Each structure stands twice: as C-alpha cells, then as structure tokens.
Amino acid sequence: MCHEERKMQNDLSAFWMPFTANRQFKSAPRMFVSAEGMHYKTSDNRTILDGTAGLWCCNAGHKRPKITEAIKAQADELDYAPAFQMGHPKAFELASMVRDMAPEPFEHVFFTNSGSESVETALKIALAYHHARGEGQRTRLIGRERGYHGVNFGGISVGGIVSNRRMFGSLLTGVDHLPATHLPEQNSFVRGQPEHGADLADELLRIIALHGPETIAAVIVEPVSGSTGVLIPPKGYLERLRAITEQHGILLIFDEVITGFGRLGAPFAADYFGVMPDLITCAKGLTNGVIPMGAVLATAKIHDAFMTGPEHVIELFHGYTYSGNPMASAAGIATLETYKEEGLFERANALASYWEDGLHSLKGLPLVKDLRNLGLIGAIELEPIAGEPTKRAFSAFLKAYDAGLLIRTTGDIIALSPPLIIEKSQIDQIFDTLSSIIKELD
C-alpha cells in the first residue's frame, strides 16, 4: 500500500490499543470526542454518563476550568525543564502540597509518570533502602494473588493476575505471593469491610519462615484491590500485615494508584484505614488523569537513610526524563486545589452510604453472584457463562454503552468508580440502568 493510500484510509489499524480486543473494537468503534462534568460525548453525538472516572482517574470530573487554565498558562511559560541536577518551582510546590495532604509520616515525594512507574520506583527504593543500611541481602519481594501493580516487569512480578503474567515468562526471581483476601463463601454481599479473613495476613509468617526474614525487602499490596474486581480488605487484615512487617524489619508498600486522592472519602487509604505503610504509590487522581503523572510518597525514615556520604554524590540512581514535568506539575497543583476548594473528598465520604444502598439494591437479581463496595467504589460480580469466561460482563459493558453509561469490566465483574462530583440522581441512573441490563442478560 502506498503512502497516499494509507493516509486516505483512516481505518484505525495504526494504533495498537492497550488492554483492548483490537479486532472487536475496530469492527465497531466506540469513540469519545469531548467530555464535561460527569459525561462524555461520542462521535455519533450521544451523551455517556461516566461511571468509572475515565479509568479510575478523573476524580474531579471532566473539563475542570482551573485545571484547564493551569495547563494553558504553563504551556505559555515553561514547557519542559530537566529534573536531573535542575529544577523548576512548580515541581517543588506540588511535592509540598502532596506532602501536606498525605498522612503525617510521609514527608518526601518522588515523581514518576504513571502508576506502573510508581510501583517500579517504590520497589527499587525498598531494595536500595536496605542496601544503604547494610542489609543488601534483603532482596525478596512479596506481592499478593489477584493484586495488580501495573505492567512493568517488577509490577507484573509482584502482581497476581494470571492474564497479566502468563505471556511474559519468569519475570523477576525472588518473588512470593500472599493469598488473595477474597472469601466468597463467608463474605458474599457484605457492605463495606468483611468480617472474615484477617487471619490471611498470617500467611506472611509462613513465607518469612520459609525464606528467613533477613532476605525479605518489602511487601506490596493494594489496600483495596481495584483492577481485579474490587476486593475489600477484611477487618483487621491491614493492621495485622503492618504488625508482622514491622516486627521483622520488612517494608510495607501501599499501592494507592486507585485509592489515592479521595476514592474512599479520605486523601489516601492509609488515612481511611488508619494503617501507615513505609511507602505509598500513587498516580491517576494526582492530575485528575489530564496529564500522565505518578508519585511515590516516602517517610522521613526511608528518605533519610539515603542522605549520607558526600553531599555532591547522587543518593539514588533512579529517575525519569519527565519526573516533575512542568505541565504535569501545573495540572497536579490545580487538581489538588480543586479537590480542596470543592471539598470533594468530604463529598465522597458523605455519598458513600447512598452509593452503597444503590449498589446493594441489585441483590437478588438473576446472575448477580456478589456485590462489594467501599467509599465510591463498587463491584457487581456476575455468574460466568460456562466455558466462556468474561463474555457475560463484556456483554453488559456493551449494553451499558448503548444505554448511555460507561462501566468497566474485569473478568465477569463490573467495576464502578464514578467521579467524586456525582449527584445522587446520577447514582440512581447508574444502578437503574444496570438493573435493567442485568435482567436482560443471557
């Protein structure tokens, strides 16, 4: 095919889409062309209610004026500045704002460009921290089954979603996994945190006994597992995990790429649960999803372990070309200001019980296997079609789109995480629409 013919076709073939059934999508594309508030507009001029905050990231909704204006102004002032041995004011301003919003132990912020990069960064910081303290033998990393920590080699290695792992071989060595916290026989249709399962944290003691505590660098978990289908931690589970890691000198990392910035009605899940890890990864809501940016939050204990030796020597050999990018920093500052000025975290907290009632109104519908919720997150687990896993939920996704609602599916689970600006009438719309769709599923 000649160059001119390729230009004329516009057949969508050039873009190899991520986490997408490319052939199915390109046979019947679903295209968004604009967005505002709680809604997307499609290429065929339909309005779609955003039930997923984009991809767990647009916590303040779409086309927010303060964020848009901040990006425009920054583009006029400073488009790019290197982050190695140089700086620009807005990166430091944003870091201070994140520190002030974070729980008290967290005093330092390392900027990345995504949740996946935040995870890689946190794992490397954990390994380097032990090395700096003279315990370089601590190289083992512990994740959890059904955990999702992004798509880079470290994140996939500590992650525990089979589909994300099976194509890529052995990945990192020296990795072990805790069991998932999902106990459907004991905890089905629970509102909020389930009562059963705190003892699953004790599996870490078995791993410690097997390998020796002196070999383990860190444990990484999502406080609430999002991409695997919204798995809520049992009461006492995170507290027990923290106690065991502290006892054995193991760092605890919370992956808060989804739960950070108000999703549970608090700045971070660490605040919500009152459990303080050593490192927090975040991204998504940091810039409202407008420009890629992530961060790792570190306690003074972690940071200060590196601040030894000659002052002219680089303390941590790690970073990215776009760490603290000026455009992303401007977007982050405006995003955090929007959250604060509009009280969106408090709003999410106030709406959580109404959201819970709406979700659990679906109990008793045919094919609904389980319902789970916390803050403004929800999951509807459907009975799978025998021999065709994922097909029933994907059918619900397509029907919801046709009905003017954006949802997300993982396996046969519908996951919901609306922008924090959602109104009660829109919560009603989400669950009324889903009720009608589920009743019609084959």
Contact 135, 154 (CB under 8 A): no
Distance of alpha carbon 69 from alpha carbon 269, whole angstroms: 30
Which tens digits make up the pLDDT trace of 65-89?
Answer: 999 999 999 999 999 999 999 999 9
pLDDT band at 169 (very low <50, low <70, confident <90, very high): confident
Q: Residue 6 pLDDT more than 50?
A: no
Alpha-carbon distance of 121 to 75, in angstroms, equals 28
The predicted structure's pLDDT at residue 200: 98
Whose structure tokens read 């509807």?
Answer: 380
Span 346-387, pLDDT tens digits:
999 999 999 999 999 999 999 999 999 999 999 999 999 999
Please report how many Cα atoms fall inside a 13 Å half-sphere around the Cα of residue 383, on the Cβ side. Answer: 12
Mean pLDDT in residue range 39-54: 98
**Looking at the predicted structure, is the pLDDT value of residue 8 above 50?**
no
Average pLDDT over residues 186-194: 97
Residues 277 and 254 sit within 8 Å (Cβ to Cβ):
yes
Angle at the Cα of 89 from the Cα atoms of 85 and 91, rounded to 5 degrees? 75
Could you report the per-residue pLDDT of 302-335, keeping only the tens digit for each? 999 999 999 999 999 999 999 999 999 999 999 9
Residue 189 has pLDDT above 80, yes or no: yes
> Count of CB atoms within 10 A of residue 237's CB?
24
CA distance 220 to 122: 9
Q: Report the C-alpha gap between 284 and 292 in whole angstroms.
A: 8
What mean pLDDT do residues 178-193 have?
A: 97
Q: In angstroms, rounded to a whole number, what is the distance separating the alpha carbons of residues 340 and 351? A: 17
**Pairwise pLDDT comparison (213 vs 165), residue with the higher score:** 213
For residue 9, pLDDT over 80 is answered with: no
Could you read off the pLDDT of 145-166 as tens digits, one per residue?
999 999 999 999 999 999 888 8
Q: Round the average pLDDT of the chain to a whole number and report it.
A: 96
pLDDT at position 172 over 70: yes
Using DSSP, state whether 286 is helix, strand or coil: helix
pTM of this structure: 0.96
Residue 332 · residue 113 · CB < 8 Å: no
**Residue 4 clears pLDDT 90, i.e. is over it:** no
Give the residue-averaged pLDDT of 291-304. 98
Give the model confidence (pLDDT) of 218-250 as tens digits. Answer: 999 999 999 999 999 999 999 999 999 999 999
Can you give the pLDDT at residue 177? Answer: 98
What confidence score (pLDDT) does residue 10 get? 61
The answer to whether the beta carbons of residues 178 and 202 sit under 8 Å apart is no
Q: Which residues contact 430 (CB under 8 A, 6 or more apart)?
A: 49, 51, 358, 405, 416, 418
Whether residue 5 is predicted with pLDDT greater than 70 in this model: the reply is: no
